[in-house]
Amino acid sequence: MDQAPGLAPRTEQTGAGRNAGTGENATDGGRRVSVSFGRTAAFANSAAAEESCQPTILANRLGLRHRRRWLLRSVTFSAGARAGALGIAGDCGAGKTALLTLLAGLAVPARGELRVLGEDMRTYRGRTKIRRRVGLVPPPGRPSGFTVRGLVTHAAWLSQLPASHRRARVAGALDRLNLSGWAGALMSAVPEDVARRAWLAACTVHEPDLLLVDGMLDGITDQDALALARCLGTLTVAMAVLIAGRDAERLALCCGPVLRLTDGIAGNG
């Protein structure tokens, strides 16, 4: 990690109260909504404190277009915390995955400004750097052929972790998410919550600064969602986590503020 992330005080905010620190800055015919989440962590050293002045995510009039369709239009928000969780709620097609794709550096903004962990995502160099520093948990899927340990090991290899450290880091990631008992099981055969935790382990094995989670809490029972929310809560201690999902109430289980996306437009949760 470039800096030791601070421990942000977790705020259990639900419903309308969780957006108490949110302010709308501007609207453009009802299309542009700016929301700001200002929870800056307390950093242990001065370098980190200086770093903390920069928001983790700064999106200003951000847009993403695929052919003629705008997937995101004029999204403006900032997340200042180096640790903690931010929720992105929205229905299917609202632009959650598109936003995460942008934040991970896998797509180029069609317009607007986007800075993630201080890097300008409009530049190739910035996107390349950010890809090493984020973890992107995709929508839940079952990569066939992989065991739980194999998936995490594959992720560690992809992250170019030194071979000497890889085994220990894989074991650590499996332990952190209570997956040691499932390590040898095939991903196609494990229960749904185990598969999702395996993805979390794979995407955090390189200890990213920012974890982007897509649809992790959707499509499962409330009990599983609660267990996963607890797992995600433990991860927020070490890294900034952005969780996208359809159900704002479920996101509130582990997130502080929740940003709502509707048809590519950001709004309050």
Partner 1 sequence: MTEGAGPGGGVNLALLAAAGREATPIMLLPVTVFGIAGAWRALTPGMFGWDFAGDALLDSIRASGPVAAGVAAWLTIRSERSGLGRLERLSRRSAAGPLTRLGAAASAALAGYALTAGAVAAWLGVHGPVTGSLQAAEVAAGAAALLVHVTAGFLIALLCCAPCCPARLLRVRPLPGPQVPTDLVQAAGRAVAAIVLPAAVLAATWALDTCAGARRSDGTAWPGLLVSPDVHHSPFTEWRAGLFVAALTWFGGVAATAILASGWALTRTHRYAIGFTAASVMAGVGLGHLHAGAAHPMTPVSASVVCRSWPLVVCVNPAFAPALPQLEAAFTEVAAGVSGTPAAVYSVTQLPPGASVSSRQGGYGFHLDDLRQGYALRAKSDLTRQVAWALNRPTRKWATSTGRARTRRSTTWRPTTGDS
Residues at the site binding partner 1, with contacts judged by CB under 8 A: 1-2, 66, 71, 91-94, 97-98, 101, 104-107, 131-147, 149-151, 153-163, 165-166, 199, 202-203, 206-209, 219, 246, 263
SS3 245: strand
CB of 23 to partner 1, least distance (A): 27
Q: Which is nearer to partner 1, 25 or 165 (CB)?
A: 165
Q: Which is nearer to partner 1, 36 or 262 (CB)?
A: 262
Can you tell me the distance from the alpha carbon of 65 to that of 48, in angstroms, rounded to the nearest whole number? Answer: 35
Can you tell me the distance from the alpha carbon of 72 to that of 96, in angstroms, rounded to the nearest whole number? Answer: 9
CB of 201 to partner 1, least distance (A): 12
Q: What is the DSSP letter of 59?
A: E
CB of 153 to partner 1, least distance (A): 4
CB of 8 to partner 1, least distance (A): 19
Q: Which is nearer to partner 1, 5 or 87 (CB)?
A: 5
Contact present, 14 and 229 (Cβ < 8 Å): no
Contact present, 78 and 114 (Cβ < 8 Å): no
CB of 7 to partner 1, least distance (A): 19
Q: Which is nearer to partner 1, 94 or 121 (CB)?
A: 94
The tokens for 188 are 């196609």
Q: Which is nearer to partner 1, 22 or 71 (CB)?
A: 71
Can you tell me the distance from the alpha carbon of 201 to that of 179, in angstroms, rounded to the nearest whole number? Answer: 9
The tokens for 223 are 């009990």
Can you tell me the distance from the alpha carbon of 8 to that of 4, in angstroms, rounded to the nearest whole number? Answer: 12
Q: Which is nearer to partner 1, 160 or 178 (CB)?
A: 160
The tokens for 132 are 């090493």
List 66's β-bridge partners, or say none: 69
Can you tell me the distance from the alpha carbon of 128 to that of 29, in angstroms, rounded to the nearest whole number? Answer: 35
CB of 161 to partner 1, least distance (A): 5
Q: Which is nearer to partner 1, 21 or 172 (CB)?
A: 172
CB of 20 to partner 1, least distance (A): 27
Residue 226, phi then psi, degrees to nearest 5: -65, -40
